Structure 1
Amino acid sequence: MEKTYKIKSYSKINLGLKVLNLRPDNFHNINSIFIEVDLCDILQFVPSDSFKLKCVNKNIPLDNSNTIVQAYKILNEKFDFRKHYEIIVDKNIPVGGGMGGGSSNAAATLKALNKLNNLKLTNKILMDIALKIGSDVPFFIEGGLKFVYGRGEKIKPHMFSLIDAIYILLVFPKFSIDTSWAYKNIKKKLQYKNYSTKFPPLDSNVKWKLFENDFEDIVGSTYPEIFEIKNILYENGALYSGLSGSGSTMFGVYNDKIALKKTKQLFNHYNTLIVSPIQRK
């Protein structure tokens, strides 16, 4: 009898995020550095007579709007699976937090089904399929530390020799951000072209404060508490502090574990978590 298969669906933070312009296909061109981190959902694939989706601990949609459903249907339509699975999601990545939970779930589903059905699809093919589901999904096929541009489909490895020496404090505000709302409200910022769209190199002399996320002003105008969180992180030893994606998760990058743990205690009115980057070869 086939055993239950488990896969970890990791999250990401954005070290800087520049929204450049609106494309003819109504997506936006971006520049960003994605860092995969070890906060993850767990997806279990239980052999079943038909496809089912279940979430054990959060109220998430289980219909066609769910990226897991979309990923399953795309592959099933293409390969007409003879065996099916009930997918059970243990959800830990915040919904509407800008950490790519839905995108990661879709990528994890594609990878799991590729393995379970012995489809032998290359990562390049999986990434092409992933883009049909969402702009951030291709990144999660390989994960790691990447420079991401275009609408999210152009991905290059990005070196950072000190990646194993940093720690990340996540701070989760009590509100969530709808990505479509954030992009609709960023149009005004796109009218101004007099700012840099490049990021400083990630070397031993990295200039952390040159990284910027264009969504911070958008989200902060409605939820100014993100600026309060940012200031507390900076005042307590963060090398960098910023918004992940379009929010609402805020994070601080540290190279001092003692300062990191002390800062975490200052946010006892928020949910917080210390995470580390996922390093991949």
Structure 2
Amino acid sequence: MTAFELPAPAKLNLFLHITGRREDGYHELQTLFVMLDHGDRLHFEPHSHLDLQCDDPDLPVDDGNLVLRAARLLQEHTGCRQGARLRLQKRLPTGGGVGGGSSDAATTLCGLNLLWDLNLEEAELITLGLKLGADVPVFVAGHSAWAEGVGERLTPVFMPEEWFLVVHPGIAVPTARIFSDKELTRHTPPIKVPASLDRGTLDSLQNDCESVAKRHFPPIAEALDWLQREAGNARMTGTGACCFARLAGEQAARQLLPRLPQHWTGFVARSKQISPLREALATLRARQNSGTS
């Protein structure tokens, strides 16, 4: 296949419960993922070897980047000797809790599976993705999902498309800092997937990482307070640092965006039942099958 481009969409955790800790140190979770129509982008083209370029000078372009690690993992798993030139356009903040690196890795796996004509099934890509990070599988699956385990046991759920304002208060949060805190709640009783994932049910659930994140990183508390005043229903996603609020529609979200405090950044996005990555892959496969470039 010739060169093509794919999205690496953001995600939100609409809630996050920590229900236990395993012997290997990982935490058992329950969460609800929704995909957004905003994110990074990856350009793929055939090349003699693996080469990564990125428009963010602060990000590594060696094996410290999950994109290259995902590509090498796929080569090792399949014995593929092909290369690729990969160009990453970063729009999502590092350490923001919106899945930037994990989404980039998932898009790499899916894109190279297509570029190299490997024909791996989704389940196999999900298994590979888990080796790169607990959030990678949901991006490979590419749909709204109730997640358990370390985040890899996914149950597809239907969620209505909604508009969100996502705020980044200008800091990066190391996930390990949150999960190593002695005061982190680790024994929230597990719940069953609610029969109805209505707004009232979701608003009654919380993010167990939020109180710890606010204590370690005061800008998160400030962002949550601002969003609560301006929009209500403010939440933190993942382990932070991004916070979000649901808005009545696109116009309401875009009117609020310019009012962000100067030292913060943010974006408006719509949740998607099927992720932009999955939609783009379907379009590319259809072109490939029809013989068009």
User: Residue 202 and residue 174 in structure 1: after superposition, are their counterparts in 2 closer, same or farther (change >3 A)?
Assistant: farther
- Aligned to 1:97, what secondary structure does the other structure show? coil
In structure 2, distance between residues paired with 1:221 and 1:200: 31
The residue that corresponds to 1:188 in the other structure is 183
Instruction: Give the direction of change, closer, same or farther, for the CA distance of 1:196–1:20 in structure 2 (3 Å limit).
Output: closer
Q: Residue 212 of structure 1 aligns with which residue?
A: 206
8 Å CA contact 1:58, 1:91 repeated in 2? no
**Cα distance in 1 between the residues matched to 2:245 and 2:195:** 18
Could you tell me which residue of structure 1 aligns to residue 227 of structure 2?
Answer: 233
Shift in Å at residue 10 of structure 1? 0.8
Secondary structure of the corresponding residue to residue 272 of structure 2: coil
Q: Which amino acid aligns with 1:189?
A: L
In the alignment, which residue of structure 1 is the partner of 2:56? 57
Q: How many Å separate the matches in 2 of 1:242 and 1:79? A: 41
Query: For residues 69 and 126 of structure 1, what CA distance do their matches in structure 2 show?
Result: 15
Letter in structure 1 aligned against 2:266 = T
**Alpha-carbon deviation of 1:42?**
1.0
- Cα distance change, pair 111–18 in 1 and its aligned pair in 2 (3 A): same
Gap change, CA 1:224 and 1:115, over 3 Å in 2:
same
Instruction: State which of 155, 163, 166 in structure 2 corresponds to 1:167.
Output: 163
The one-character-per-residue Cα deviations of 1:114-163 (angstroms, maximum 9, x if unpaired) are 11122111111111111111111111112221001101110001122xx2
Counterpart for residue 37 of structure 1: 36
Offset of 1:255 from its aligned partner? 2.1
Partner amino acid, structure 1, of 2:172 = S
Q: Map 1:70-149; keep pairs closer than 5 Å.
A: 70-149=69-148
Question: Given the two structures, how large is their TM-score scaled by the length of structure 2?
Answer: 0.86
> Is the 2:44–2:115 Cα contact (8 Å) retained in structure 1?
no
Cα separation, 1, equivalents of 2:274 and 2:147 = 16
Q: Which runs of 5+ in 1 are unaligned?
A: none
**3-state SS in 1 of match to 2:125:** helix
Q: What TM-score do you get using the length of structure 1 for normalisation?
A: 0.89
1:190-212 per-residue CA deviation (whole Å, 9 max, x = no partner) reads: 46x4x554376654552443121
Paired letter, 2:184 = K
User: RMSD across aligned C-alpha pairs, in angstroms?
Assistant: 2.1
